[in-house]
Amino acid sequence: MTPLLLAACLLGADPAETGDRPAAERPNVLLILSDDQAWDDYGFLGSEHAHTPHLDRLAGQSRTFPHGYVPTSLCRPSLASILTGRYAHQHGITGNDPAVPAGLPRKPTHQTRVPEYLDLRRAMNRTLADDPQLSTLLQDAGYHTLQTGKWWEGDPTDFGFTAAMTHGEMTRGGRHGDEGLKITRDGQPSPDLGPLPAFMDEADAAGAPWFVWYAPFLPHTPHDPPQRLLAKYRDRVEAGELTLSEAKYFANVERFDEAVGTVLAEVDRRGAENTLVVYACDNGWITLPERSAYAPRSKRSPHEGGVRTPIMLRRTGAITPERHETPVSTVDLARTILTHCDVAVPETVGGMNLLNNAAVADRGPVFGEIFEHDQPFPAPVADGLMFRWVVDGNWKLILPHAPHFSKGEPPTELYDLSADPHETRNLAEENPQQVARLTALLNAWWDPTAAND
């Protein structure tokens, strides 16, 4: 990196987005993605039970945003937003799977045995094909690119990855990662980096920067941690502080933290000043006490337990470690990464550069939307809408979309997050002017006709 560009990064200013820097001068990028983790289940955010020393260390080395948000609290659309810098209603992926058409079997094996459904899945896997994606843009700029872990969009090599753990073929068990999900899961007793070191060696030998999509299937269910980790929580189970289900989840959080520590050690061994490390979670999680499943107001909900995640950005010597309380979004990540790597940012990529101090200071509302788990594909995206939500300053508004609630429409919800971060007191009835103001912001933002434009 030239002295001028380094100074720009330290000050938080945007270098020119010309994309004309030689590939060899661009930084490597490691994108770390947690899977189904509560926003406050980190030591640095005050958790009593989550043991996360490596993530805590990363937070201390990073520009850290504890008030980060995902626009959609479900795995696939959330990851698609990170990949494209677009909201779900814009990129067109709103659910994890296409809804099963009437007349087709609804057994677990239908994904591999019913040709009509396979055709639907393959068509849905092409939804993002015409969108510029982080991986394709980096590949076009000379990066060697590797996919590991969670991945929903079929064959990753069709989406800008020069190498991939996932094959994505549904007739061979491909759905959301297949072979890629083995990274860290197979690493007993300690996390396994799989193909990462060899991939990094090859890129280094070629004089090329590398990009790694590192999305281990953790702490996602099954909550099946190694016994050496679960044993750490047994005393708390016996004391009644945790249920066994909760202990297994927290042990899996620690398992993920170990994986982060292992991959960061590999990056640091090669030179932390040459690599941009980015961290976020795909969506939130609150474990049910009695079993390994998510509770209401967590995953798939518009509440903080579903949509909030810390976001971290680290590059030793180029990014000043500091904590920002400004609400930001994972929609911002693609633009941030591309700008830092001096790769031209297409007009379709939204969000803002999280390394630009002026942009962060002037940040406007953070928006999001919640859809049905099974997308009514290829119907218009609005057909699956359940909620829209917005955070503006201390205020958060949640608007339900009536057609999708068989037991009656939930109420409009308004919260003052500064006084009520866990959303326990709905202030909508006593603040109609705030509801009207925030509703107007949502209506100005949400355009369902924008999908795949």
Q: Residue 452: what pLDDT?
A: 53
Are 276 and 340 a contacting pair, CB within 8 Å?
A: yes
Q: Residue 187: what pLDDT?
A: 64
- Quote the distance between the C-alpha of residue 357 and its chain's center: 22
Q: Residue 240: what pLDDT?
A: 97
| Strand arrangement, sheet containing 366-371 | 366-371, 385-392, 395-400, 413-416
- Quote the distance between the C-alpha of residue 366 and its chain's center: 15
Nearest to 341 by CA among 357, 362, 355: 355
Q: Residue 241: what pLDDT?
A: 97
Q: How far apart are CA 258 and CA 284, in angstroms?
A: 20
Q: Residue 427: what pLDDT?
A: 98
CATH match of 3-364 with 3.40.720.10: yes
Q: How far apart are CA 114 and CA 105, in angstroms?
A: 8
DSSP states along 99-144: PPPTTS--STTHHHH-HHHHHHHHHHHTTTTTS--HHHHHHHTT-E
3-state helix, strand, coil in the chain (%, to 5): 35, 15, 45
Q: How far apart are CA 359 and CA 13, in angstroms?
A: 9
**Token output for 21:** 């820097």
Note the maximum CA span of the chain: 64
Decide the pairing of beta strands 366-371 and 28-34. unpaired
- Quote the distance between the C-alpha of residue 419 and its chain's center: 27
Q: Residue 451: what pLDDT?
A: 56
Residue 116's Cβ-count burial label (10 Å; 0-12, 13-18, 19+) is exposed
Give φ, ψ of 450 to 5 degrees. Answer: -85, -5
DSSP states along 294-341: BPTTSTTSSSHHHHEEEEEEE-TTTS--EE--S-EEGGGHHHHHHHHT
Ranges of the chain with pLDDT below 70: 1-20, 107-112, 187-190, 402-407, 448-453
The CA–CA distances, whole Å, from 221 to 206, 285, 292, 345 equal 38, 11, 7, 36
Domains of the chain, residue spans? 3-364
Q: How far apart are CA 94 and CA 220, in angstroms?
A: 20
Q: Residue 15: what pLDDT?
A: 45
pLDDT tens, residue by residue, 392-436: 999 999 999 866 666 677 899 999 999 999 999 999 999 999 999
Give φ, ψ of 419 to 5 degrees. Answer: -100, -20
pLDDT tens, residue by residue, 165-186: 988 887 777 788 788 788 887 7
